[in-house]
Amino acid sequence: MKRRAVLGGAILAAFGGRAFASPGIAAGGASFTIADAEYRLADLLAPAGREPFAVQSRASLQKILASGRLDIVDQAGPDRWGRRVVAAAVETADGVRSVQELLLLDGAARVRPESDRARIARLLAAEEEARAAVRGLWGLSAYAVRDAATHRATGAFHLIEGAVKSAAATKGRAFLNFGADYRTDVTATASSRDARRWAKTGLDWAELSGKRVRIRGYVAWINGPSIEIVHPMQIEVLA
């Protein structure tokens, strides 16, 4: 992965990056610009536009960027808007810190898994700390964790918890059902190929039956409220 640093200093020694003259400017709660280049922070979803807490989320990122010592690591190719998808670290009084973790600890964003499992595990821990302390967006009902047995709303990203009533698979799809009727309770679905692949790395789809889990993703209406699982860490086993 290509590494680049912004505004020199100790973080350059730590990460071996290259200095830029321009500081980062927050474009949103999880995106920023540097010298006309646009970046999006990997594995994060922050409130945007007119969504609740969008202004505060952007301000939180700007405060972090204002420290002026930033290291950027590419995580993937550009997203569909042409923004580079990156992990970022900033030098603070406590040492070099992950920008993503700092935003999550502020309650300024939620985890949207898309990259490395080890990194996402740290991000989930930071998110959990902020949620337990009811920081930032976690104090708003719009971002409350939903109950899988009763949640009906679609068209937004949610965290949803519940006991898996059944785990099933067909030739092409795998399903987690949270109630007796998939048309009224939330269903998590993934490709059977992905489910088989994840089983080799510790997430056995069939063994989720009877477990209490937290799932996250965009809720769509597909014969009932449904979340598409495309990354194994969209599922957290709670008990």
pTM as predicted? 0.90
pLDDT of residue 92: 73
Is the domain of 65 the same as that of 182?
A: no
> For 116-235, where are the alpha helices, taking DSSP H only?
117-132, 192-199
pLDDT tens digits for 121-136? Answer: 999 999 999 999 999 9
Is the domain of 32 the same as that of 116?
A: yes
106, 139, 172 - which closes a domain: 139
Is the domain of 215 the same as that of 123?
A: no
- Alpha-carbon span 162 to 90, nearest angstrom: 36
User: Encoding tokens for residue 162?
Assistant: 């519940």
Count of C-beta atoms within a 10 Å radius of residue 212: 14
Containing structural domain, residue 66: 3-139
107, 139, 171 - which closes a domain: 139
φ/ψ of residue 108, rounded to 5 = -100, -5
Is the domain of 122 the same as that of 152?
A: no
Is the domain of 20 the same as that of 133?
A: yes
Is the domain of 134 the same as that of 150?
A: no
Find the helix or strand (DSSP H, E) in which 113 lies: none
Q: From the CA atom positions of the chain, what is the Rg in Å?
A: 19
- Alpha-carbon span 192 to 61, nearest angstrom: 38
- Tell me the DSSP string of 15-53: H-----SSPPEESSSSEEEETTEEEEETTEE---TTSTT
Is the domain of 95 the same as that of 169?
A: no
User: Encoding tokens for residue 66?
Assistant: 């204002």
User: Encoding tokens for residue 57?
Assistant: 């989320």
Is the domain of 85 the same as that of 172?
A: no
- Where residue 32 falls (left for φ over 0; alpha for ψ -120 to 50; beta otherwise) is beta
CATH classification at residue 198 = 2.40.50.140
Is the domain of 131 the same as that of 20?
A: yes
Q: Say how many domains are in the chain.
A: 2
Is the domain of 129 the same as that of 175?
A: no
Is the domain of 149 the same as that of 126?
A: no
Query: Cα-Cα-Cα-Cα dihedral of 126, 132, 133, 136, to 10°?
Result: 70
139, 168, 198 - which closes a domain: 139
pLDDT tens digits for 5-35? Answer: 443 343 334 444 444 445 789 999 999 999 8
pLDDT at 107 over 60: yes
Is the domain of 66 the same as that of 152?
A: no
pLDDT tens digits for 164-201? Answer: 999 998 889 999 999 888 778 899 999 999 999 999 99
Find the helix or strand (DSSP H, E) in which 107 lies: none
pLDDT tens digits for 54-71? Answer: 999 999 999 999 876 788
Q: Which of 104, 109, 75, 86 is nearest to 37 (CA)?
A: 86
